[in-house]
Structure 1
Amino acid sequence: MSGGQTRHRGYGAVRTGLLVSTLILTGCSSDQSGVVLQPAAIKVPVEAPRTTGRERTASDADHAKLVASFGGEYRSPAALRLLTEVTDRLVKATDRPEETYAVTLLDSPVINAFALPNGRLYVTRGLLALASDTSEIAAVLAHEIAHVTLRHATARTELALRSQLVSRVVADVLNDPATGAQLQNQSKFALARFSRDQELEADGIGVRTLARAGYDPFGAGRFLNSLNRTTNMKTGTGMAGEPDMLATHPGTSERINLVTRAARLIGAPGLGVDERARYLAAIDGIAYGDNPGDGIVKGRRFLHPSLGIAFEVPEGFTIENTRNAVLGATGEGSRRLLFDQVESHVGQSLEEVLRATWSDSIEASSVENRMVAGNSAVTAMSRGKDWTFRLAAVRVGETTFRMIMAAKGSTDPDGAFRRWTESLSGVGPDEVKSLRPLRIQVVTAGPADTADEMARRMVVPDRPLDRFLVLNELERGAVIRAGQSYKLVVE
C-alpha cells in the first residue's frame, strides 16, 4: 500500500474482486437487479466533428508520472534486453515495420502490460514472473503492438468525444436533458463493447504477428491460460469472476478460445520456437510479489515498515496488498475488509473524517471514541441495502488510517472487526530487518524431485503447491522431469 495508482487498459491486468468490492466498501449502494439489458448502439451523426490525427508524442513528464504510479522502473538488464529484442523482431513482422517502440519494465507485482499511441510499451515484473517462455512474452508484446498499429486508442477517444458532444448538444442546445442522459448512459455500454471488440481484434492480429516473427503462435493461449488460473486462485477466495457489460476486456476464457483457433488456422502445435531456456535465464532472480517497502503480506498479517504499522486479519480472511489499500475477503465472499490511508485536515475530528470519507449514513448511536493500540480512534456502524459495515478512523502520529469491515446481510461483524482493529500495532526494527524481498529462482529438477517437494521450497503467503503449478504451467499430478528448469519463489 502506497500512493495512488493510475489505471490503464492493458493485456490482462489481474484485478481482485476486492477492488470491485471497494465500491461496496466506500458506501455505494446502487440498486441492481443483476440483469443488464444491452441498449442499442449509439447512432453518432455523420456531421459530428472528428478528432484529428494520431498523437505520437508524449512528454517525458507524463511518462515519468505513469512509471511512478507503477512503482518506478524495475532494473533488470537481461530481462529488458530480451523484451527489446523480441519487440524489434515482432515489429518487423507487422504491417507497419517502420514504426519504433520503446519498452519500459515496471516495478509492480500486478500482472499487466499496456501500450501508448506513441509507441511506448510497458510490462510489469509481475507479468514476467507469470510467463514461462519467450513466445508467451512475445504474445503479450504482439497484442500491445497491435493496439498501436490498429490505432485503437485514437478510435476509442474519437468515439468517446463524439458521443459526449452529441449528448451535450441534445441536453443543452435542444433542451432535452432526459434524452441527453439516456444517450450518455448508452455511450458507456457502447464504449465498453467497443473496447472489448478492440481487445479481441488485437488478440487475433497479435497471434498472426507472433507466427510471422517465427514464434510459437500457441504461446498466446498458454499465457492466457496461466492468467486465467491465477485469476481463478483469487475467485476461489471470493474475488472477481468474468467481467460485466461495462468491462473493457472480454472474459479470459473467450480470449483463450479465440487465440487458440487463430493459432490452429496457422498450423499444428510445434510450429515456431518458444525459446524457454532463454526466457528463464533472463528472468532468473527478478523480484516477485510485493515490494516490502510498500507493505507486505505474511499469511494473515500485514506489515508496512515505512508507515510503521502492522495488523492481523481474523481467521478465514485472505488479504492482498494493492498500491491504494489492503483488501481482504473470506473464502465465500460474505465478509470483506479494507484498510487504507485517508486525508485529514488540521483540527478535523476522527468522526468528521469518517463522515467525510463515507457516502452512506452512519448510525449516530454507534459512534464510539476508543483507543486502538494506544492511538485515538473512532468507530461506527453503517447499514446498506445488502451489507452491514463497521468503520474505524485511527490516528497514528500525524497519519489517519481507515479500517472497514463489511458483512453480507444484516449480520453485525463487530466481533471480528474489534479483533482486527485491536491487532493494529507498531513494527519493530527487528521485524523490519526480517523482511526480505521475494524473487524468482530458476532451478534444475533432480531425479527425486516431485511437485510437492519443490512446492515446499516456495516462500509464498499461501497455497504453495497451487502457485508452483501455475508458475510452471503444470497440472495437478504432473511429473517433474529431471534436468528440466522450473521457477520457484524464494527469499
Structure 2
Amino acid sequence: MRGAFLALLVLLGAGLGGCALNPATGKSNFVMLSERQELELGRRANQEIARQYPRYADERLQAYVQRVGERVARNSHRSNLDYRFTVVDSPDINAFALPGGYIYIHRGLLAYLGSEAELAAVLGHEVGHVTARHGVQQQSQSMAWGMLGQLVAAGTGVGAAGDLTNLLGTAMVRGYGRDMELEADGLGAQYLARSGYDPQAMIEVVRVLKGQEDFAREQAARRGQEVPASGYHGLFDTHPDNDRRLQQVLGPARALAAGGARESNREAFLGHLEGLPFGDSEGTGVRRGRHFYHAGLGIALSFPEGWTQSNGAEQLVAQSPDRQALMAMTLERAERTPEAFLRARLGGQRLVQGQPLGQAGLQGYTGILPGRPARRVAVVFKDQHAFLFVAVVKSGELASQDARFLEAIRSLRPLQAGERKLAQPLCIHLVRAKAGQRIADLAKDSPLPGDAEGTLRLLNRLYPDGEPQPGDWLKVVR
C-alpha cells in the first residue's frame, strides 16, 4: 500500500508540471501555470472580485493610488505587467493581490496609514506577491493536491485516501504563510528603495498592523470574548522592531537606500484622506447601534437590542450576543409576486406557516423551512429590489428566536426624510494639534462607537498611550 502511494507521488511529480525559475527571487519553484495562464487566471479572478467587492467611488483617490502603485511596480522584477490598483469600498484592514498584477487595498487600511511611503509599502508588498508568483505557487499546489487525491483514490481503491490528500493540500495552501509574507516584505522594501521611498515605511506598516492586533486582543479581553484571529499579515508575535527575520529581509533594501533620497510625502497623502468615510460608507449602508440605514436603497431596518451587525460586500448579517442566532439579508431584483419570488428561490423546498407581509407600504412574504435546523425565510419588495432574509438558530429551536427574527424583518421600511442624516457616514478630517491637547479630550465628543480614545490613538500612531505634539496633524472622525 505504501509503495503504491509513493509510486503515485513520483508519477504525479513527473507528469503534472515542473519547476520554474522565480523571476523575483531566482529560486526554483513548483508551478503548473505558464505566464499566459497566470494572466488569464488573474483576469478571470478580477472579474469575480469586482462583483463581490465594490469599488470606492472617488476617482481622484483611485488615480492617486494607481500612480503610487505604478511608481513602485516600475521598479519591480516584473515591470512588464499591466498593474491595476483598486481601492475597495470596505472598512476592513486589508489588501490583497491576484496573479497577473491586480492589486486591491481596502479603504479601511488607508485610514490608518500615515504617508505616501506607507501606502507605497502596502502596494509594494502586494507587488512582491505578484512578482514572486506566490498566487501561482499556491494555485499549483492546490491543483496538484486535488489531482493527487484522485489518483490515490483510484490507485488504492480507498476513497478516504482522496480525502486525506485534500486535507494535506488544504493545510499547505490555506494562506501564504510567514515565509512568503516575509519574502513579499523584502521584495516590497527593495521596490520602495528603488522608487525613492524610505524602505523603513515597511516597518511602519507592520507596526500599524501589530497595533491593530494588540487593540483587538485588548477589546476582546475586556468583553470576555475569544481573541480574534490575526488579520492582514498577522505574522509577528513580538514588536516588529525586534523581529529578527523581518529585520533580515529588509536589510538589503536599507543598504540599497543608503545615501539616496527617501521620500515620505506625508502631507500629500493626508490630503487624500480628508473626508474619507471611516467605518461604513454611504454606498454600502451605515450601521448605527442596532439600526441600519442605506441612502441609495432608501431603506432602514432595526435588529434586536444587543445584536451585532456585519456589513459585507454581498450581505448584511446580524448575530445575537451569544452568536447562536444568525440573520442575513441579501439584495436581489424583484420579480413576480413576493410569494412566487420566495418559492422560486427555495427551489421546491417545502415552506410552512407561509403568510404575506405588509409594512410601511411595502409588500412581502415569509414562512419557515422545516429541518434541522429550521429556518425563517422572508422577502420584502421595495421599488425594483427584493430584500431576502434567512434566519437560523445554530443550536436550539427556531421558536426561541423567531419572534425577534420576525420583528427585524417587519422593521424594514422606506428611509424617512429625518433619517437621511443617519445614513451619512462618519468621515476623517485633519486638524492641527493645539498645545496641551490630549487624545482623551478629542474622544470625549467623538461619535465613534466603542473605545473612541483607543481608535483615535490607532489612527494617529499614538497607541497605546502617546500624546500629540503642538502643530502635529491629527486625524479626527466626525
Q: TM-score, normalised by structure 2?
A: 0.74
Number of the residue aligned with 1:220: 205
**Which residue, out of 284, 288, 296, partners 2:278?**
288
2:85 corresponds to 1:103: yes
Q: How does 1:327-476 map to 2 (within 5 A)?
A: 327-331=317-321, 333-341=323-331, 346=336, 349=340, 352=343, 367=353, 369=355, 371=357, 373=359, 375-380=363-368, 391-397=376-382, 399-404=386-391, 406=393, 409=396, 412-432=400-420, 435-456=423-444, 458-476=446-464
Segment of structure 1 superposing worse, 167-176 or 142-151:
167-176
**Which residue, out of 294, 303, 310, partners 2:300?**
310
**CA contact 1:441–1:487 (8 Å) conserved in 2:** yes
Q: 1:197 to 1:62 in 2, by over 3 A?
A: closer
What is the rounded CA distance, in whole Å, between the counterparts of 2:319 and 2:236 in structure 1? 24
What is the rounded CA distance, in whole Å, between the counterparts of 1:459 and 1:304 in structure 2? 19
2:15 corresponds to 1:48: yes
How far does residue 240 in structure 1 lie from its aligned partner after superposition?
7.7
Count how many residue pairs are aligned between Structure 1 and Structure 2. 435
What is the rounded CA distance, in whole Å, between the counterparts of 2:390 and 2:218 in structure 1? 25
What is the rounded CA distance, in whole Å, between the counterparts of 1:192 and 1:285 in structure 2? 37
Number of the residue aligned with 1:30: none
How far does residue 470 in structure 1 lie from its aligned partner after superposition?
2.2
Between the aligned residues of both structures, percent identity stands at: 22
Q: How does 1:106-121 map to 2 (within 5 A)?
A: 106-121=88-103
**CA contact 1:104–1:122 (8 Å) conserved in 2:** yes
What is the rounded CA distance, in whole Å, between the counterparts of 1:263 and 1:168 in structure 2? 39
Number of the residue aligned with 1:300: 290
How far does residue 147 in structure 1 lie from its aligned partner after superposition?
0.7
How far does residue 152 in structure 1 lie from its aligned partner after superposition?
1.2
Instruction: Please give the secondary structure, in 2, of the residue aligned with 1:443.
Output: strand
Post-superposition CA distance 1:441-463 (Å, at most 9, x none): 11111124321332345444554
Corresponding letter in the other structure for 1:141: L
Q: 1:96 to 1:341 in 2, by over 3 A?
A: closer
What is the rounded CA distance, in whole Å, between the counterparts of 1:198 and 1:408 in structure 2? 39
Number of the residue aligned with 1:16: none
Q: Which runs of 5+ in 1 are unaligned?
A: 1-39
Q: Which runs of 5+ in 2 are unaligned?
A: 1-5, 18-31
Q: 1:469 to 1:91 in 2, by over 3 A?
A: same
How far does residue 379 in structure 1 lie from its aligned partner after superposition?
4.1
Instruction: Please give the secondary structure, in 2, of the residue aligned with 1:294.
Output: coil
Task: State the superposition RMSD in angstroms.
Answer: 4.2
What is the rounded CA distance, in whole Å, between the counterparts of 1:178 and 1:64 in structure 2? 35
Instruction: Please give the secondary structure, in 2, of the residue aligned with 1:285.
Output: coil
How far does residue 102 in structure 1 lie from its aligned partner after superposition?
4.1
Q: 1:389 to 1:451 in 2, by over 3 A?
A: farther
**CA contact 1:350–1:378 (8 Å) conserved in 2:** no
**CA contact 1:318–1:329 (8 Å) conserved in 2:** yes
Corresponding letter in the other structure for 2:206: G
Bigger helix fraction:
2
How far does residue 301 in structure 1 lie from its aligned partner after superposition?
0.7
**CA contact 1:126–1:288 (8 Å) conserved in 2:** yes
Q: Which has the higher contact order (CA 8 A, sep 6+)?
A: 1
Q: 1:416 to 1:469 in 2, by over 3 A?
A: farther
**CA contact 1:171–1:177 (8 Å) conserved in 2:** yes
What is the rounded CA distance, in whole Å, between the counterparts of 2:236 and 2:347 in structure 1? 41
Instruction: Please give the secondary structure, in 1, of the residue aligned with 2:180.
Output: helix
2:226 corresponds to 1:242: no
Q: 1:327 to 1:233 in 2, by over 3 A?
A: farther
